[in-house]
Chain A
Amino acid sequence: MKNRKHKSDLVILFATLGLMALGLIVIYAIGPMRANVLNSTYGSNYDPNDFFIGQLRSVGLSLVAFFVAFKVIPYELLRKWSKPIIIIALILSALLWLLAKVGSPLAKCELGECRWYNLGIISFQPAEALKLALVIYLADFLARKKEEGTIGAWREFWVPLIIVCGASLGLVVVAQGDLGTGVALIAIIFGMLLIAGVPAKQYLIMLAIVLVVAVGSVALSDHRMERVDAWIATLSGGESSDSTYHIENAMMAIGAGGFFGVGIGNSVQATGYLPESINDSVFAIMGETFGFVGLILVISVFVIMLLRMLKVADTTKPKDERFYVVGVFSWVLAQVVVNIMAMTSLVPVTGITLPLLSYGGTSMIFISFALGEVLQISCYTSREVINYNENTNSRRRVRGTHYSSRSRNSRNTTSKATRRN
């Protein structure tokens, strides 16, 4: 029961394109420095333009993915195939783990963690696919349970949910050692559960359990505890060490940027001081380059995009589409917030990309695809907020759009008037 098709949400469209363009500019400026550092330190043989060309390729592929999702693949198709999609995504992750176990050259490992398929000239990170697959699957699953009225039921709801989510988290966090993607998956799951109307008590209990497990797994892992210690050391102004080097240099880049930044091409931290300057740390380089003003602008773009996605969710009638949008929202929100907070020493460093800005193909392509579907869904929104009483599964009658918009306007006027009094 879809609404009549109208124009897509231009804010999300332009925010996406704008962020991609900004990412290109930043990589254009610092890519040659990155190449130079890698060449002189590790004797590799990068051309100064290699990283810009790489990013250009990623953006190109991402745009294709974005518009294919937006215009070619109707969301209904994804819903229909949601189960095979999650199964394939899980198999891809499991297969990678197996290949890594047997030492196959197809599994690409860095620093002891095997997270990529090595496909000749390109590499592919199955965890990114798993994020999208889980959003698609959970949207369908939650919508079905909502229709059945079994949300919150142990056997019909929690058991299958825990199996799928547990398998996903297990493969990503345990087998691939990718805590960053783990955080994103948890955010996706709990964002979608929240909006699906899981009873508050159950929701809080589950959240508590996941947090306890997460904290426990961090405390039991030496290299993760090292990052936490480093984070605490940075916060408390403790001794500098190898572990605090990354975060200190990120803060140095951001701090040195000041109000207006040092300008494009003048970043010094990008010349090898800041690790991962083109990937996970690109926010810090942007802080140095564009300053406080620039960062607030970038953050504002993300905030507006995220709020627009919430608005799309609020005004989308089909529950699966609505849940899907919230899933993508949670995904983007988690990555942006965790990445930026790590760079500003508000949370420990986890190794998570900044959507659409960081260098790296797989992550950008999948998030672009996800946003393309959101844009497609935005073509069918009502002009009225669809309000459910999520806790009881009972629904109000959907109001006519024309009338309701007017009533909303009048309500707003009234409230303003009231406030004025």
Chain B
Amino acid sequence: MRPYTDQSGPAASPSSGDAVPDRPTAAAVAVERPVAAGDRRRKWRSRRYRWDTKYSPYAFVAPFFVFFAAFGVFPLLYTGWSSLHRVSLSAPNDMEWVGLHNYTRLLEDEFFWNALRNTFTIGVLSTVPQLLMALGIAHLLNYRLRASAFFRVAILTPYATSVAAATLVFVLLFGRDYGMINWALEGVGLGKVDWQSGTLSSQVAVSTIVIWRWTGYNALIYLAAMQAVPNDLYESAALDGATRWQQFLHVTIPSLRPTILFTVVVSTIGATQLFGEPLLFGGAGGQKGGASHQFQTLGLYLYEQGWFNFHLGRASAIAWAMFLILLIVAGVHLLIARRLRKSQ
């Protein structure tokens, strides 16, 4: 507490301060001080107060920005710098200037284009079904339900499962000879699929892991947005004779447009960075993304170049290329969003 010794009397205003010795209130008597000391104290206090209001905001944001500068901005810029050099993992301080070589090399690198293609197709294969399913599930959860709390928690449990744990299980489930999925496919007469070695099949398998982990989470985000839609809209639509499907199409979806855009952006960012699922789906030597790189993503290619081929400079160039792709993707989303808003 602040020592407001002078405020025991109701008449004492804060501005009159300690320097009123001729009105001996109980506290003032108890803390007898010379006028000058009180004066100095008050001055110091008001100066401290002024400093406090002026500088404490900086103190509050400082921890964030210190860490952010050290582990966010500096590495970002330094990645750009090292992408212009030949840097080996075995001697990272030994940098040799090569200009844009790492980038031009990337453009001629078939593995880079392969990784870019794979990242795109896996991104589409995982994001589109995931968000469509999430939308449907959210719509169902928005009805009055028994055990709705149970459903909500249960569909979120995959979100609590780590990439590593989830992928390890799915590797077994997708096993060619003894996996449960092939066993079921054979049971219904469809025959086994070699989930590991085919291009499409392996990418479907990797996408399945992503879909499994994130659909419930996105469903809850959609559900939250649906619950913010005023119910009058549905009531008047129902009065106009709209069926449930028409209500979903003409009331729910338009109201959810910002949320849908948000989830599309977040999922796209996640898809661009996809790493853990394909790495562990590949088992030993997973950084290759399969024997013929059939499911190697950009994240995996960066990891392979940097930490298996020891080319940190090339890895940096790949990182910047990924960032560029993200910016393009974000720009496209923004454009689509603006187009949609105009067309309304």
A binds B: no
B residues sitting closer than 8 Å to A (CB atoms) are none
A residues sitting closer than 8 Å to B (CB atoms) are none
